[in-house]
């Protein structure tokens, strides 16, 4: 009888772990789709980095505060308590989020969406190494293999649009800093998954807005730009941060980073559809390889978790 109960308990735990994992994957996929629209908004708005950071930060903060307020039962005191509850780790996450956002927007002023996305494709390796060192979360052979395949696909995307110039190198350097900041942030969110880190995204957005003030953003914007900035903040950054932060808490850091490389083929796709910046055959092939690596990883890990 005891053995039967133990077997049932193990089956329930396995089922719960698989459900949590797949739920986290769904959140990460949705959040990454939101994040992938950043290049579209940067191109559509066409403003300088400081103006983009200033206005996007304001609308992102509104979106996250609104979500926290709704989730806390429309209680102002509980909303404030969530900000207090993120503690010192939350402020580190906020600073790293700000650095990543600032480097991303500035990078797109100098380099292509494809180059920026390729460098972000290195993220799974950075995160896997940091997670191993910081929280002893060792990546599986499957994760490393799929990350390597995704990196090869990312290389094809980069090779399809590689242009060496002084400005491109600046943009690519900023993209490296963006990826490193994002990697450390991801591991910290995973390490402190017992804390709510959604509020940290709001603080990070406001830090970015405050930092942009030092460089003189343009306060005079048209109503069309107000609408675009609102969509930028609410959907791309606000929803992206909320969904991915919730997802990272449920999924190992290296897995989360691999899923989020879906940004790589999607980001140029939106720019292609909206502005006619068509990718080459090599770029499309690279994007398909990345997609195959991501969804292959989801299937393999999902089956592994399903086993008793």
> Tens digit of pLDDT for each residue in 26-70?
999 999 999 889 888 988 898 888 898 899 999 999 999 999 999
DSSP string covering 54-101: HHHHHHHHHHHHHHHHHHTTS-HHHHHHHHHHTHHHHHHHHHHHHHHH
Predicted pLDDT at 279: 65
**What integer pLDDT is reported at residue 126 of this predicted model?**
81
Q: SS3 of 247, please?
A: helix
The mean pLDDT value of the chain amounts to 82
Query: 14 by DSSP, 3-state: which?
Result: helix
The residue that leads in pLDDT, 81 or 157, is 81
What is the structure's pLDDT at 5?
Answer: 46
pLDDT for residue 7 is more than 80: no
Determine contact, residues 244/260, Cβ cutoff 8 Å: yes
Compute the chain's Rg from CA coordinates.
Answer: 20
Burial class (CB in 10 A: 0-12, 13-18, 19+), 72: middle
How many Å apart are CA 41 and CA 271, to the nearest integer?
Answer: 9
Using 50, 70 and 90 to split pLDDT, how confident is the model at 4? very low
Question: What's this model's pTM, rounded to 2 decimal places?
Answer: 0.79
Q: Provide, rounded to the nearest whole percent, the portion of the chain with pLDDT above 90.
A: 21
In this structure, the dihedral spanned by the alpha carbons of residues 289, 293, 296 and 297, taken in order and rounded to 10 degrees, is -170
Least Cα distance to 231 among 9, 34, 14 occurs for: 34
Q: Determine what percent of the chain is predicted with pLDDT higher than 70.
A: 86
Q: How many CA atoms lie within 13 A of 232 on its CB side?
A: 28
3-state helix, strand, coil in the chain (%, to 5): 80, 0, 20
Residue 161, Ramachandran bin (φ over 0: left; ψ between -120 and 50: alpha; else beta): alpha
Q: What is the mean pLDDT of residues 280-292?
A: 75
122-126, 164-168, 197-201, 277-281: which range is least confident on average? Answer: 164-168
Each residue's pLDDT tens digit, 15-29 = 677 788 888 889 999
In tens, the pLDDT along 199-254 reads 998 999 999 899 888 888 888 889 999 999 999 999 998 999 899 989 988 888 87
- Give residue 14's pLDDT band: very low, low, confident or very high (50, 70, 90): low
Question: Is a pLDDT exceeding 90 seen at residue 296?
Answer: no
pLDDT of 143 higher than 90:
no
Average pLDDT over every residue of 118-139: 80
- Predicted confidence at residue 33, as pLDDT, reads 93
Contact 268, 114 (CB under 8 A): yes
> Which residues make Cβ contacts (< 8 Å) with residue 257, sequence separation at least 6?
123, 124, 126, 127, 128, 147, 183, 186
* pLDDT-wise least confident of 8-17, 79-88, 106-115: 8-17
């Amino acid at each position: 009888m005891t053995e039967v109960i133990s077997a049932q308990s193990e089956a329930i735990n396995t089922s719960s772990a698989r459900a949590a994992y797949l739920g986290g994957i769904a959140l990460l996929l949705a959040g990454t789709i939101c994040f992938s629209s950043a290049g579209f908004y940067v191109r559509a708005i066409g403003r300088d980095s400081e103006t983009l950071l200033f206005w996007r930060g304001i609308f992102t903060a509104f979106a996250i505060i609104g979500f926290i307020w709704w989730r806390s039962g429309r209680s102002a005191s509980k909303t404030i308590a969530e900000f207090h509850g993120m503690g010192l780790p939350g402020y580190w996450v906020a600073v790293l989020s700000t650095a990543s956002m600032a480097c991303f927007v500035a990078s797109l002023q100098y380099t292509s969406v494809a180059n920026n996305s390729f460098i972000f494709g290195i993220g799974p390796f950075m995160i896997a190494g940091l997670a191993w060192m910081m929280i002893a979360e060792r990546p599986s052979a499957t994760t490393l293999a799929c990350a390597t395949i995704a990196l090869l696909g990312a290389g094809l995307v980069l090779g399809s649009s590689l242009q060496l110039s002084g400005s491109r190198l600046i943009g690519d350097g900023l993209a490296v800093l963006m990826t490193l900041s994002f990697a450390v942030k991801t591991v910290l969110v995973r390490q402190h998954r017992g804390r709510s880190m959604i509020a940290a995204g709001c603080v990070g957005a406001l830090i970015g807005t405050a930092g942009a003030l030092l460089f003189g953003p343009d306060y005079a914007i048209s109503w069309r730009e107000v609408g675009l900035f609102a969509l930028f903040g609410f959907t791309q950054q606000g929803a992206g941060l909320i969904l991915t932060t919730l997802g990272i808490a449920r999924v190992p850091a290296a897995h989360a980073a691999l899923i989020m490389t879906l940004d790589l083929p999607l980001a140029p796709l939106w720019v292609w559809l909206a502005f006619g910046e068509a990718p080459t055959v090599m770029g499309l092939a690279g994007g398909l390889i990345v997609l195959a690596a991501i969804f292959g990883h989801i299937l393999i890990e999902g089956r592994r978790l399903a086993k008793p």
